[in-house]
Amino acid sequence: MDFELSREDRLFLESVKSFAERVIAPRWVDLDEGKWPIEEAAARLGEAGLLGIPLSSKYGGQDGTFLQAALAVEELAYADPSLAVPVYVLLETAWPYMVQRYGREEAKEEVLPEVARGRAFVGIGSTEPQGGSDVASVVTKAVKEGDLWKLYGEKNMVTGVATILNLPYGGGVVAITRTGRVEDKHRGITTFLALLKRRGRVTPGFTHRDWDEIGRHGLPTGYLTLEGLPVEEVFMLGELNGGFKVAMEGFNLARTVIGAASVGAARWLLDRGLEWIRQRVVFGRPIASYQAVSFRFAELYARLQAAQLAVYKAAWVADRFYRGDSAFTVQDVATAGAVAKLLAVPLAVEVALEVMKWFGGASYFKETNVARALLGVLSYYVGAEGAENIMKLIIARNVVGREFV
Ligand SMILES: Cc1cc2nc3c(=O)[nH]c(=O)nc-3n(C[C@H](O)[C@H](O)[C@H](O)COP(=O)(O)OP(=O)(O)OC[C@H]3O[C@@H](n4cnc5c(N)ncnc54)[C@H](O)[C@@H]3O)c2cc1C
């Protein structure tokens, strides 16, 4: 057991911190207010080597680890607690990695270097209007027509479609589609990298509209209607009817880094809260001198350390598994990722609400920015990349046993 980062990881963390402080922190409010486009942030992230951290250098990546990705996302969330930038980076940690792991060589060589440079975005198209939690029941169809697959259906709450359309190369979504019978559940699912814009040209066969979100305005989420979107065979990920595991592995990784984003935002909130309670004088004393305030700080501080360790452990487990350590299984990655999300996300929401109370009425006004962080972490609290109960379901199934849950 060693709680110290390696020299390489320490240097990496210092360079991300410096980048986040210089480039992201001064602009995060602009980003949230639509005054700094995410595509510009993406180009800077690409230059800094923060997109596709665990991707192979063969595809323009950094040959980095999931621990490094978690460290980076945490620092980016400290710099942008509304979470647009860290969510961009965490999605580009998980889903392009699935393209690298399960994609055909030609697809990887074309798309992944564009992702790493911030010229393409690869998101996830899983959720459908009838519900997001039951991924094995998706009904969006992929039908073979001649040489091409054509996608028909509705995907809801897809992050990054507008971003894809604005990026120079473009990109797409890892689309979870039905190729078998609905009754076949997870055995009838195939996953494709469905490019919505490729080499600067928008693909025909889809429409989209953005939702008007309550927070995290920097990275839009919308509704995607697939009306025969063409996908070449080479963009299939994994095997025909074998796509469910691709999706599950992607979610496992995403959840680990979502934990990191939540920890980063919670750290930012708690630091702002600490500054405030030390200097805010009420009834003649700083409010930090009231135990009702400082004990609550202590409790949240302790729980945040625990959540942070759970995130680092989940990243470490993912690194072990994906680097071929046979002592770890994909279930270990799933459990650790679910633990990370389950601990970190509600805690970040709780920290935000408590810090808002310490700020009192001032927190209700946009200028204090605390509410922007609350609205950012709320996206994961209400369900993005898996609702809280689904995290419990994963842990219970893997630990208590599938026969019981
Ligand atoms: C900001 C934002 C961005 C998003 N981005 C994406 C994206 O890029 N791509 C994408 O595909 N999706 C995205 N989503 C959707 C997200 O993945 C879904 O919200 C999530 O999977 C939950 O699905 P749902 O909202 O349809 O809730 P439902 O599946 O309808 O669930 C509703 C409630 O029922 C509970 N529930 C469901 N089943 C069970 C059960 N078996 N036991 C106990 N409780 C249960 C859930 O915990 C939840 O509280 C995004 C969502 C948000 C808010």
Residues 247-269: pLDDT tens digits?
999 999 999 999 999 999 999 99
**Residue 384 clears pLDDT 90, i.e. is over it:** no
The answer to whether the CB of 132 is under 6 A from ligand 1 is: yes
Alpha carbon nearest to ligand 1 atom 21, residue: 132
Residue at 188 is within a domain: yes
CA of 247 to the centre of ligand 1 (A): 15
Residue at 405 is within a domain: no
Do 335 and 223 lie in one domain? The reply is no
Do 64 and 209 lie in one domain? The reply is no
Do 184 and 266 lie in one domain? The reply is no
CATH number at residue 23: 1.10.540.10
CA distances from 257 to 56, 196, 240, 385 (A): 19, 25, 28, 11
Q: Name the burial class of residue 8, with classes exposed (0-12), middle (13-18) and buried (19+) by CB atoms within 10 angstroms of its CB.
A: exposed
Q: Which long-range contacts (CB under 8 A, 24 or more apart) does 392-395 make?
A: 392/338, 392/342, 394/334, 394/335, 394/338, 395/335, 395/338, 395/339, 395/342
Residue at 1 is within a domain: no
Alpha carbon nearest to ligand 1 atom 42, residue: 389
The answer to whether the CB of 215 is under 6 A from ligand 1 is: no
The answer to whether the CB of 329 is under 6 A from ligand 1 is: no
What total of structural domains would you count in the chain? 3
Which residues constitute the domain of residue 255?
244-399
The answer to whether the CB of 133 is under 6 A from ligand 1 is: yes
The answer to whether the CB of 379 is under 6 A from ligand 1 is: yes
Residue at 317 is within a domain: yes
**Which whole number is the average pLDDT over 55-74?**
98
Alpha carbon nearest to ligand 1 atom 11, residue: 126
Q: What pLDDT score was predicted for residue 1?
A: 82
What percent of the chain shows pLDDT beyond 70? 100
CATH number at residue 171: 2.40.110.10
DSSP states along 88-145:
HHHHHHHHHHHHHHHS-HHHHHHHHHHHHTTSEEEEEE--BTTBSS-GGG---EEEEE
The answer to whether the CB of 386 is under 6 A from ligand 1 is: yes
Do 105 and 127 lie in one domain? The reply is no
Do 278 and 212 lie in one domain? The reply is no
